[in-house]
Amino acid sequence: MKKIKVGVAGYGTIGQRLADGVALQGDMELVGVADVAPTLPVQALFESGMPYDLYTAMPEKINLLTDKGIPVSGSLEDLVQKVDIMFDATNAGIGAVNKKLYEKYNKKAIFQGGEKNDVADIFFHGYANYEKGIGANFLKLTSCNTTGLIRAIDAIDREVGVVKTAITIIRRVADPGDYHRGLTNALQVEPAPSHQALDLMTIMPHIEATGILVHTPVTHGHIITALVTPKEDISKEELLDLFEKHPRIRVVRIADGFLGNASMFKYARDLGHKRGDMYEIAVWEESIVKSGRDIMFAINIPQEAVVIPENIDAIRAAMKMQMTGAEGTAETNKYLGMK
């Protein structure tokens, strides 16, 4: 079978991981990645011996890279011509500019949560609306919190139906190594409702959602508490069973030493996962409580890597590699080693 050729524009936190994720897919080929300057990820790529070919997104500034001896395989425009589909993981707003280039060569593209919704034909989640992405040209993925949250809500929705949900997002404010933003000894409240609640309703319009987001000065994963009102009653045990069977959800226990978001990061490092990444969200067993029919629980969102599986699902849908969400997500999961 001919492999689907993929390129990545923007080799930052998400772009690096998209490249790694594609490289693991047996039915895809990573043609190359594009960036502008010798950022730390690009320097690491160079020190690692250039496992991925690098293209410059600004040919007029190629010397930023070549002055450091970093080999450049061409321009972003060159890369676009060589691929079937592009991942665009550039800074928010650049994707809309790059889109013209993708259109020029009649190539499909997948944008990230930071872009505006109108950059894409479809706002996509691998589990919740795979079918809508089939054959689409331009898809936008949900952001990290929404992606992880929808995994959990979708799982409940398929089992017993979900009427409404109210979420509190305890957001990590920066990634490890971020120096351009940060909070010091402060919690910060965002105006409600959070965009994640609104985005969930866009993807799953039959659910009523609201929520509040509070930034916290940590780097290793968001925590979301979700109060869910299901259509039919679901017990704590049934919910646990549902989550344990989900390939992209881990059930963890405080009693086993998983005390918080930093435990999850440590555990991923100890598993030997590249960069200490985790694709799965985690649900704490001891956090699950019932209140009448409502059920409440806490989720861990590993912000750097959680969106990678659904992004790869998007390629599968857009390129019609698999024609159902069940098949598409199963292939992604297989190659990423989940379950």
**DSSP 8-state class, residue 59:** G
Give min distance, CB of 265 to a copy of itself, in A.
6
| 186 belongs to the catalytic site | no
User: Considering beta carbons, is residue 140 or 222 the nearer one to a copy of itself?
Assistant: 222
User: What residues contact 52, with CB distance under 8 A and at least 6 apart?
Assistant: 19, 23, 30, 32, 33, 45
- Compute the distance between CA of residue 46 and CA of residue 138 in angstroms, rounded to an integer: 31
Tell me which residues in 180-219 interact with a copy of itself (CB under 8 A).
181-193, 208-212, 214-219
Q: Which of residues 260-299 bind a copy of itself (CB under 8 A)?
A: 260-263, 265-267, 269-272, 274-276, 284, 286-292, 294, 296-298
8 A C-beta contact, residue 223 and residue 215: no
Active-site residue (options: 144, 155, 173, 252): 144
Q: CA 217, CA 187: separation in Å to the nearest integer?
A: 7
CA distance 52 to 127: 29
CB distance 247 to 326 below 8 Å: no
Q: Among the candidate windows 81-89, 125-133, 150-158, 250-258, which touches a copy of itself by CB under 8 A? A: 250-258
4 - beta bridge partners? 28
Q: Single out the residue of 54, 166, 234, 306 in contact with a copy of itself (rule: CB under 8 A).
A: 166
Q: Give me the least distance between CB of 91 and a copy of itself, in Å please.
A: 16
Torsions phi, psi for 55 (to 5 deg): -115, 150
Whether the CB-CB separation of 229 and 167 falls below 8 Å is answered with no
* Least spacing, CB of residue 59 vs a copy of itself, in Å: 22
Record the tokens describing residue 171, joined without a space.
């957001």
Q: Please state the closest distance from residue 215 (CB atom) to a copy of itself, in A.
A: 7
Q: Are 226 and 283 in contact (CB under 8 A)?
A: no
CB of 225 to a copy of itself, least distance (A): 4
Give 198 or 326: the residue with its C-beta nearer to a copy of itself. Answer: 198
Q: Which of 16, 56, 112, 129 binds a copy of itself (CB under 8 A)?
A: 16
CB 44 within 8 A of CB 68: no
Residue 24 in the binding site for a copy of itself (CB under 8 A): no
Residue closer to a copy of itself, measured from CB, 73 or 216 = 216
Which C-beta is closer to a copy of itself: that of 27 or that of 294? 294
Alpha-carbon torsion, ordered 269, 178, 77, 110, to 10 deg: 60
Q: Do residues 305 and 277 make contact, with C-beta atoms less than 8 angstroms apart?
A: yes
> Which residues, 294 to 323, sit near a copy of itself by CB under 8 A?
294, 296-298
Instruction: Fill in the DSSP letter of residue 134.
Output: T
Given 59, 93, 257, 337, the residue binding a copy of itself (CB under 8 A): 257
Nearer to a copy of itself, 85 or 197 (CB): 197
Q: Under the criterion CB under 8 A, does residue 47 sit at the interface with a copy of itself?
A: yes
Contact window for a copy of itself (CB under 8 A) among 113-121, 139-147, 178-186, 320-328? 178-186
Q: Report the catalytic residues.
A: 144
